[in-house]
Amino acid sequence: MAVAIPPFETFYERHRDEVMAFLGRRLGRERAEDAFQETFLRALRAYHRLEHGEHLRSWVLTIASRIVLDDFRRRRPPGMMNAAEMPELATRDERPAFEELAPLTDGLPHTERAAVVLRYGYGLSYDEIGAALGSTGSAARQAASAGVRRLRKEHA
Amino acid sequence: MTTVPISLDERFRAAAAAEGLLDVAYDLVEDTPVGTLLVGVTDHGVCRLSYDPEPERELEELARLHGPRVLRSARPVDRLRRELDEYFAGRRRRFDVEPDVRVVPEFNRRVLEELSHVDYGETTTYGALAARSGSPHAARAVGTVMNRNPVPIVLPCHRVIGADGKLVGYGGGLDRKIFLLRLEGSIL
């Protein structure tokens, strides 16, 4: 039987400290506060559409990671990446492929994970991913394929 | 592990309610003359008022009845909190917040609708309420409806007593029924 979806309060109490710690490490205390609120508001907007209560920890940490990425992108100097090419996160949130990826990619090294998620979850081009990660398109392609190879091995 | 600052926690809870993202906002109303109450509010009104709340069980039930987006949030509950304060201070004779009984079965809803017309300082009987609800022989069923009233005090099931004048029973315990009827001046 599928794990039931807990009341949001229960979910929130269970994960808020870990999300706060994660965001604090990535963004620093001050920016982490806005990101914290945005993470749980996004989770709340999607919460009634969840079909089961599995992997909720991975799910909320993935949302937090996306917000960290957004924050980094906004702070990147203009010209590094064209804003018009940014994925529309609100609509990408609907993509089921992304939710599947979240728990799967948990164990990957950071760069590989980001590359896999941005490529197969968001559908970004390698050039875009390279820009988002502060490297190049070909480095992004290598990271994504290394990540996929690792996943294949782990889930074989 | 980092803990979330209280001010941030409260800001999130307020934002969640302000954006209209909650199926139910709830909070505890502490230190009333009838103890701590748990109060739940939807966009349609107050859907829950519980005596002696066991939060975990309450949350599960609110989520099952109204949807999983159940979150403690003080602000949506403030209006009812104020009205309860006034009521217990003897300065309020009826509640302006609407009860939300959409999830209540049809017969129960009809009885609760009739119950809402029993005014402060008055009492009625199970049989009379059954008759007014269109089911004159359903006094016992009306007793069950009172027992399962999701919003006691606001929907005044404490004003329903036996035909012989006995107070009979109360979901929150007979002591509370006596307290509320005394507060309203219905009994000595």
SS3 B184: coil
Q: State the smallest CA–CA distance between residue B53 and chain A in angstroms.
A: 16
**pLDDT at site B76:** 96
- Find all residues with CB under 8 Å of B106, minimum gap 6, and list them: none
Kindly list the residues from chain A whose CB atom is less than 8 angstroms away from the CB atom of residue B2.
Answer: 17, 20-21, 24
Domain B6-88 sits in CATH 3.30.160: yes
Chain A, nearest residue to B58 by Cα: A7
Beta-strand relationship, B124-125 and B160-161:
parallel
**pLDDT at site A71:** 86
Kindly list the residues from chain A whose CB atom is less than 8 angstroms away from the CB atom of residue B11.
Answer: 37
Of the candidates B34, B123, B16, which has an alpha carbon nearest to the alpha carbon of residue B72?
A: B16
Q: Which residue has the higher pLDDT, A156 or A14?
A: A14
**pLDDT at site A90:** 40
Summarize pLDDT for A61-110 with one digit per residue, the tens. Answer: 999 999 999 888 887 665 555 444 444 444 444 444 455 566 677 778 87
* Class of domain A1-75 (CATH, top level): mainly alpha
**pLDDT at site A102:** 65
**pLDDT at site B124:** 97
**pLDDT at site B184:** 97
Find the mean pLDDT for residues A3-17: 95
Domain limits, chain B: 6-88, 106-183
**Does residue A21 sit at the B interface (CB-CB below 8 Å)?**
yes
Summarize pLDDT for A103-152 with one digit per residue, the tens. Answer: 677 778 878 888 887 777 666 778 767 766 767 788 888 888 888 888 77
Q: Which residues of B touch A (CB under 8 A)?
A: 1-5, 8-9, 11-12, 15-16, 19, 21-23, 56, 59-60, 62-63, 67-72
Interface pTM, i.e. ipTM:
0.92
In angstroms, the Cα distances linking B1 to A28, A43, B163 are 15, 22, 61
CB pair distance less than 8 Å for A36 and B4: yes
Domain B106-183 architecture: Orthogonal Bundle (1.10)
Q: Which residue has the higher pLDDT, A111 or B178?
A: B178
Range with the poorest average pLDDT among A17-31, A91-105, B28-42, B45-59: A91-105
**pLDDT at site A120:** 74
pLDDT-based confidence at A34, cuts 50/70/90? very high
pLDDT-based confidence at B170, cuts 50/70/90? very high
Find the catalytic residue in B118, B129, B157, B161: B157
pTM, full prediction: 0.76
Range with the poorest average pLDDT among A88-92, A139-143, B45-49, B56-60: A88-92
Q: Which residue has the higher pLDDT, A85 or A14?
A: A14
Of the candidates B147, B152, B151, which has an alpha carbon nearest to the alpha carbon of residue B171?
A: B147
In CATH, what number does A82-156 get?
1.10.10.10
Chain centroid offset of residue A103 CA: 10
- DSSP for B33-56? TTEEEEEEEETTEEEEEEES--HH
Range with the poorest average pLDDT among A63-72, B78-87, B140-149: A63-72
Q: ∠ CA(B108), CA(B112), CA(B116), 5° rounding?
A: 175
- Find all residues with CB under 8 Å of B64, minimum gap 6, and list them: none
CB pair distance less than 8 Å for B1 and A40: no
Distance CA B99, CA A109 (A): 53
In angstroms, the Cα distances linking B112 to A34, B128, B157 are 44, 13, 8
SS3 B187: coil
**pLDDT at site A86:** 44
